Amino acid sequence: MILCLAEKPSVAKDLAKVLGAKSRMDGYYEGNGYWVSWTFGHLCTLKEPGDYTEVWQKWNLDALPMLPSNFGIKLKNDAGIKKQYATIERLSQECDEVINCGDAGQEGELIQRWVLAKAKFKKPLKRLWISSLTEEAIKEGFTKLEDGNKYNNLYAAGIARAVGDWVLGMNATRVFTLKFADFKQVLSIGRVQTPTLALIVERQHEINKFTSEVYYELKTKYRDVLFAADLGKIPKKEKGQELMASIKASNFEIVSYTQKEGKESPPSLYDLTSIQVECNKKFAYTAEQTLNIVQKLYEQKLVTYPRVDTTYLSDDIYPKVEATLRNLTQFTEIVNPLLGKPILKSKKVFNNKKVTDHHAIIPTGVQASGLTPDFQKVYETITRRFISVFHPDCIVSNTTVIGKASEIEFKATGKQILKPGWRVVYPKVKSQPTPETKDTKKNIVKPEEQVMPVFTKGESGTHHPELQEKKTKAPSYFTEASLLRAMETAGKQVDDEELRDIMKENGIGRPSTRANIIETLFKRNYIIRQKKRILATSTGIHLISLIEDETLKSAELTGIWEKKLRDIEKGKFSVDEFKEELFQMVNNLIHRVKHQSPKAKHIPCPKCNIGHLIKGNKAWGCSDWKQGCKFKIPFEYKTIILSEKDIESLVHNKESYYSYLIQGSEEKRKIKFSPKLTLTL
């Protein structure tokens, strides 16, 4: 018998149907020479510190660092998991070979191989590697099974990642918590989550420190076209008024008028990060929501494997494109113009060198029906992008007009769409009636620039100048879309798509893990949402202030570690080398933190959760008062004088029991009882 081990029951059911394993047993399917079972995610995990030695069971500074010589795995403490594992263990001992049918990626490889390692599996191992769960893709995959050992480096990279997260997370969390935490609050530190939090905190500091400055711009309107002076920002109003007075006395003259035809290519196909960015911008979905929706669409056979970091297709997909397009019957209006002639094959879409384990996310061609509105939006977003890349380029006319008045040069630009090309795929939105054009550098869609009349060089006439007052703007708060991009490029501001693609290897985390990292920061109350904006809480800001070691919070350094994990996948770096560097880094970190000076007590504002409490002349107030938080606790409340200890208890417990000093008519008296104060927000 051959044991096929899938990652989820639903996938096992699809595989069993194709393989003819029709009999449903307890924990597996059977038939036609196959057993098909499943792991439903992580059955195994790395052992806890206390599993190695009693010394590590309790949190103790003297016991750090915790660096096991050999890492072990154990089953999760769950009755259902233990039962399913027992089934897999028995089948793996009785079968002739195993086919690893886990998700085709690093995490999927680790999940399955850990279970087989726990079961002491020693028989032949093969690997099913597919990008779609359609019947056709499954059948094709079983005709191209690989030797399981081919993926040993992928497994090794998964082990290194898990070990790295364990060693750094366990040690750093304990040392910072034991050294600095108040009220038994755990200060959670992570290889990816901490530099991500640092990005948010750093941006917040930039915003808080920013002071807006007034400046002026000189503009003029000639023949209903607005021209901007080529002077840049004018710092003083008086200077601006002087310049405006000089051009008022002069006619406006056209110096040059040029029109240039240009092409705009369709946007790239989606990888996981770009579909998460798109859905956050368009629908305000969180990264986790989008990932969950695309994962479900994949399991429903409607789209291909989602956890990918490439926006390209491999050449072997090209022969299947026409059939896929024909099956997208919901989109016949925009698909039909592509049929009946050779399908466009662009190097910006098909590139074997840009595809490793999987290609970009595309529809499979399976009919979609009965989707909820959220699922329909994401499915349609992926499908329209797929259809658009086979349409011709959009042809535009770029117009540049240069004029002058009183020797001051002015410029105006405009753009007209001559042939929409791929833009026919995207219907106009009623709330945004302005035609749209694509910024090729940033690969985004924006309102069309002003449409120009025809000008003649040398013509002149009256114009209407104006001096516009403007203010410099602070950096923007992160949204999930911009945070995902920052994680992808290790914190560097990169708009160019090609450069961003090059930097992916050094990004923070992986496409498949970034949504979970962001959600973890929310759950630990390090960040909060304000509509689309992401703000660091007082707790998050305080945690980053405690970390003096740049290794822990540097996005760039974390990106370098991520690159080493990828190099393990490629066989260019070993797990032993990775562990050696990791252990050295953690040893140094523990030593430095143990000898770090204690920090002042930190009391987060209980109302806004962004600022912290600072002591004023008559009350404790929020440090974020400039941003509008008016929370205050007076030193004296109804004759009760509150100590700092009382304030801390009120904030953290929402109530406080202590003896208080009561103001008498002649003297302060200590009252020997413990009344209760309750904090109501």
Task: Summarize pLDDT for 410-432 with one digit per residue, the tens.
Answer: 999 998 899 999 999 998 644 33
Residues 640, 310: Cα–Cα separation, whole Å: 63
User: For 132-145, b where at least 16 C-beta lie within 10 A, e where not — what string?
Assistant: bbbeebbeebbeee
CA angle 209, 210, 212 (to 5 degrees): 150
Please write down the long-range contacts of 627-630, taking CB distance under 8 Å and 24 or more positions apart: 629/605
For residue 527, give the DSSP letter: E
Residue 498 is predicted with a pLDDT of 63
Residue 54 is predicted with a pLDDT of 95
- What residues make up the domain containing 547? 161-209+478-495+507-594
Tokens of 17: 């149907």
615 φ, ψ to 5°? -90, 120
Q: What is the DSSP string of 138-151?
A: HHHHHTT-EEGGGG
Residues facing residue 46 across a β-bridge:
73
Angle between helical axes of 575-594 and 555-569 (0-180°, round to 10): 160
| Same domain as 88, residue 17 | yes
Q: What is the DSSP string of 438-472?
A: EETTTTEEEEPPPPP----TT-EE--EEEEEEEE-
pLDDT in tens, 276-326: 999 999 999 999 999 999 999 999 999 999 999 899 999 999 999 999 999
The residue behind tokens 């196959």 is: 34
Residues 6 or more apart whose CB falls under 8 angstroms from that of 626 comprise none
The stretches in the chain having pLDDT less than 50 are 429-448, 657-675
| Same domain as 15, residue 122 | yes
User: How many domains is the chain built from?
Assistant: 5
Residues 615, 621: Cα–Cα separation, whole Å: 7
For residue 315, give the DSSP letter: G
Residue 555 is predicted with a pLDDT of 84
| Same domain as 577, residue 448 | no
Instruction: State the DSSP H helix or E strand holding residue 29, giving kind and residue range, or none if neither.
Output: strand 28-31
Tokens of 25: 């047993």
Residue 364 is predicted with a pLDDT of 96
| Same domain as 128, residue 34 | yes
| Same domain as 369, residue 226 | no
Query: By three-state DSSP, how is residue 413 classified?
Result: strand
Best CA proximity match to 106, nearest among 288, 358, 362: 358
Residue 436 is predicted with a pLDDT of 36
Residues 361, 14: Cα–Cα separation, whole Å: 20
In a domain, 280, yes or no: no
305 is catalytic: yes
Residue 519 is predicted with a pLDDT of 95
365 dihedral zone (left: phi>0; alpha: psi -120 to 50; beta): left
| Same domain as 403, residue 261 | yes
In a domain, 52, yes or no: yes
Tokens of 643: 């100590």
The residue behind tokens 């008086």 is: 238
Residues 656, 641: Cα–Cα separation, whole Å: 13
CATH number at residue 563: 1.10.460.10
| Same domain as 133, residue 17 | yes
In a domain, 548, yes or no: yes
Residues 546, 596: Cα–Cα separation, whole Å: 9
At 516, which amino acid appears?
N
In a domain, 608, yes or no: no
Domain boundary among 538, 567, 594: 594
Q: Which of 28, 305, 379, 477 is catalytic?
A: 305
